[in-house]
Amino acid sequence: AGDGDCGHTHARAARAIQEWVRARPPPAAPAQLLSALADLLLEKMGGSSGALYGLFLTAAARPLLNRNDLPTWADAMDAGIEAMQRYGGAAPGDRTMLDSLCAAAQALHALRSPGADLLPVLAAAVQSAEAAAEATRQMEAGAGRASYISSAQLLQPDPGAVAVAAVLRAVLEGLRS
């Protein structure tokens, strides 16, 4: 929305995750890892972003309780998005973080194909999320803080959509290294 709040809350979350990882090894099981991250972000990130990430991660953890193969990761992404939409009230096209998340999820559906290769699929998902974030620049805000601001003042891409794309890029780079 241009007031710096999104950047500050994401920076606070990043610092909290760094401190958490330095203090103890994160859980190895994917469901427990996502649940622990959800709790951490709910506590430390704050704001609507913290609540939405908490909802997303909590819901995404559920499909991963009994399986963690590549198709289940696509299911986890879909479950997280569905929870955000249900409780947050936004939808793709509303100029929110969901624009990037949904674009990435569409690309991640390729994980359901036999013989899917994680890194190329994730790279495609990151590119889709980044393109979707940039596309929010031209969107009318239908939800979130930006919906209270005149469209003439919304000259930048949605900060939440940009942040989601950056988080996904960081995950990709972390897996590559």
Is the CB of residue 77 less than 8 Å from the CB of residue 105? yes
What is this structure's pTM? 0.89
pLDDT surpassing 50 at residue 11: yes
Lookup: tokens for 66: 């009994």
- Output the pLDDT for position 88: 84
Condensed to tens digits (0 to 9), the pLDDT of residues 27-83 reads: 999 999 999 999 999 999 988 889 999 999 999 999 999 999 999 999 999 999 999
Q: How far is Cα 14 from Cα 17, in angstroms, rounded to an integer?
A: 5
Mean pLDDT, the chain, integer:
90
Lookup: tokens for 42: 């709910």
For the chain, the domains span 5-176
5-176: in CATH 3.30.420.130: no
- Output the pLDDT for position 116: 97
pLDDT surpassing 70 at residue 139: no
Condensed to tens digits (0 to 9), the pLDDT of residues 88-130 reads: 888 898 888 999 999 999 999 999 999 999 999 999 999 999 9
How far is C-alpha 111 from the chain's CA centre? 17
Is the CB of residue 151 less than 8 Å from the CB of residue 142? no
pLDDT surpassing 50 at residue 1: no
Is the CB of residue 6 less than 8 Å from the CB of residue 100? no
Is the CB of residue 43 less than 8 Å from the CB of residue 15? no
Only one residue has tokens 């704001």, namely 47
Only one residue has tokens 């994680």, namely 118
